[in-house]
Amino acid sequence: MIFSKKHALFFVMTMSIACQYSYSMEPVDMFTAAHYGDTRRIKSFIHAGADVNQQDYLNRTPLHWAAEQGHTAVVSELLAAKATPHVQDLLSQTPLHKAATRGHIAVVNELLAAKSDPNLKDADGNGALSLAVREGHTGIVEILIAHGADVNTQNSNNRTPLQLAAKHGHGAIAYILARNGSQANLLEVYRAVPKK
């Protein structure tokens, strides 16, 4: 198909206007508002009676999106409106999995205060603790342990949090896990200590 100059110009102008409009318009749904941390818009949706536990095509709720991006104020608003903190998405991850992976300590605290289960496992058998260990988020590891996360759980590859700490070179986390009852052998702890 051959485009005339007139069609090409129309196409370029239309795309330009569409791009400008998409950057200037407000979020059109709760998922987008949660993703971008638009607290005002979230409050508006809640006030209008929107379902705070609705799920998108990935089975994620607005709480998943806000937790993953670290938007504590949005997480607080959603939880106050009775958002369920233990809903699992297509990867069987909860909002707590998302926040722990990304290192959002304030969001982790909010979710745990709302009784999010730190021992729920995702599709790979990882709990929030294993994900925080893998990413090296020491503060979140300590918080999850204090809230009852199982330090001896195993994922689908039969790796414990201590083994993940060793694999990723997180010596301080390995020490925390061992101090809190992780079934460890000295070789695993030695491997977790960073070498100079």
- Say what the pLDDT of residue 193 is: 58
- Asked whether the beta carbons of 164 and 134 are under 8 A apart, the reply is yes
With respect to residue 171, please indicate whether it lies within any of the assigned structural domains.
yes
On whether residue 109 sits in a domain, the answer given is: no
pLDDT per residue as tens digits for the range 31-77: 999 999 999 999 999 999 999 999 999 999 999 999 999 999 999 99
Q: What is the pLDDT of residue 187?
A: 63
Considering the domain architecture, whether residues 125 and 194 belong to the same structural domain is answered as: yes
107 within domain boundaries: no
Distance between CA atoms of residues 83 and 92, nearest Å:
17
Q: In this structure, are 150 and 187 located in the same domain?
A: yes
Out of 16-30, 133-147, 160-174, 176-190, which region has the weakest mean confidence (pLDDT)?
16-30
Report if residue 147 sits inside a domain: yes
Closest to 175 (Cα-Cα) out of 129, 184, 100? 184
| Same domain (yes/no): 173, 138 | yes
Is the model's pLDDT at 3 over the cut of 60?
A: no
What does the pLDDT read at residue 18? 43
In a domain, 191, yes or no: yes
Residues 88 and 123 in one domain: no
- Alpha-carbon gap, residue 131 to 135, rounded angstroms: 6
Specify if 51 maps to a domain: yes
Domains held by the chain: number = 2
Closest-CA residue to 162 (of 132, 136, 183) = 183
* Angle at the Cα of 104 from the Cα atoms of 168 and 65, rounded to 5 degrees: 110
The pLDDT assigned to 28 comes to 74
Confirm whether 194 is domain-assigned: yes
pLDDT tens for residues 111-147?
999 999 999 999 999 999 999 999 999 999 999 999 9
User: Do 137 and 196 have their domain in common?
Assistant: yes
Q: Are residues 87 and 39 in the same domain?
A: yes
CATH number for the domain spanning 141: value is 1.25.40.20
Together in a domain, 130 and 164: yes
Is residue 111 situated within a structural domain? no
C-alpha to C-alpha distances, 12 to 8, 69, 81, 140, nearest whole angstrom: 6, 33, 44, 48
Assign 3-state DSSP to the chain and report helix, strand, coil percentages, each to 5.
55, 0, 45
pTM: predicted TM-score of the whole model, two decimal places: 0.82
- For 22, the token pair is 């998409």
Structural domain span for residue 172:
118-196
